[in-house]
Structure 1
Amino acid sequence: MSDSTPSIHIGFLLFPNVTQLDLTGPAQVLSRVPGAKVHLIWKNTEPVVTDVGFTINPTVSFAEAPTLDVLCVPGGLGMGDQLNDAETIAFLQRQGATARYVTSVCNGSLLLGAAGLLKGYKSACHWMWRQYLLQFGAEPVAARVVRDRNRLSGGGVTAGIDFGLTLAAELAGEELAKSLQLMFEYDPQPPFDCGSPEKAGSERVARVLALQEKRIKIVEEQIQRVALAL
């Protein structure tokens, strides 16, 4: 990066029990955009435990974060606890009001919804949580990446890389994004063809939902409380 390259401040919300790939996938891609300055943002700069048990260190606190060009909210097991966290929601509202792009990966879109940042917008989300976007006035779309004006969203977990490449093209041009895809050898060839509810079949979907039933019920109640207050 030359000294004349304008800085692009890209901030990822980091919270306890985040799904790290929601964050690290697009962060890896977007960090290669010329001028990119990636910030991992939380209430303080103490290590944050992800939903697989290892920690990630925030680089800056809510209070000290710069004005962001890109606000990105990942999802994860801890998403539900953040829905009613006044400090987190206030941070999203503050940064979302001025960011050039307001974005999310996986069920992080529900946090944008809880902050009132998706009303009247189309959005992607993990298939298990997509329907709940309606409660925040958003229009759920079953797609890997969705763009509606300055809102960009990725679907579940691995779609964060697709999202990152899409946003990289917006920020620095399609050729740069294509070069990044080649550099990362992003050429998915999964061993099984069951990565969506439509491909997985109703029986497998039902089994997965049954495994998540308790968690879904808890988060449903949290979503309903927030949606009623909006």
Structure 2
Amino acid sequence: MSTEMEVRGVRVRYGPLEALHGIDLPVPAGTVTVLLGRNGAGRTTLLRTLAGAVRPTAGQVRWRGADVTRLSAYERARRGLRLVPDLRAVYPGLTVAENLALAAARPGDPGPALDAYPELGPLLTRRAGTLSGGEQRMLALSRLVLPPPGGGPLRVVLVDEPALGLSPAVTARTYALLADLRASGTAVAVAEQRLPQDLPRGTLVHVLRRGAVVFSGEPAELPPPGTPPPRH
């Protein structure tokens, strides 16, 4: 299992508040990594730090061994990284078709996105801002099956709360899509409040609390809910 990306001793501050407290965490290639925790635990900040949307105040972000801490989010995207945030994940003033065209390496057939989420087919001419929350979520997630802007392989996928606003059936389909990406060698990291069902074999879980990692292991090794974190 090779490490695609990792953070080493990463600290992130928002003004006087420190959101991440010196975190070390790998994101292996060909693996689904689940960042588990409540709101405020640091999951979103960690994903955004990996994506380059947040600059750490200390520590390093490394990609295939190289220090990319100062590499912009745009440059990371062109190298094959794709972030699906939990909020503001679509361009509301553009149509569904225009959103898909912007996400692809070159304008063309949105077929792969519609195969993943056929519910979007009748909505291609609608402005994304007029869609329901679940429809907007499907639109954001459908970009994962389109080639990245750099034209190369999709190497890293970061998704903040994949199931947000989705029905159980669409949630299951979404995790099947993420499992397919993992099987193709993509490093997949998702932030969730609860452990999803039907995770692929080899999934890794990191539990975050108040900006620190308090557990790392496989889903079956998770301590029971309510177990206090270990003392350091």
Settle same-fold status: TM greater than 0.5: no
Q: With a CA cutoff of 8 Å and minimum separation of 6, indicate the structure with the bigger relative contact order.
A: 2
State the TM-score, normalizing by the size of structure 2. Answer: 0.32
- The structure where helix makes up a greater share of residues is 1
State the TM-score, normalizing by the size of structure 1. Answer: 0.32
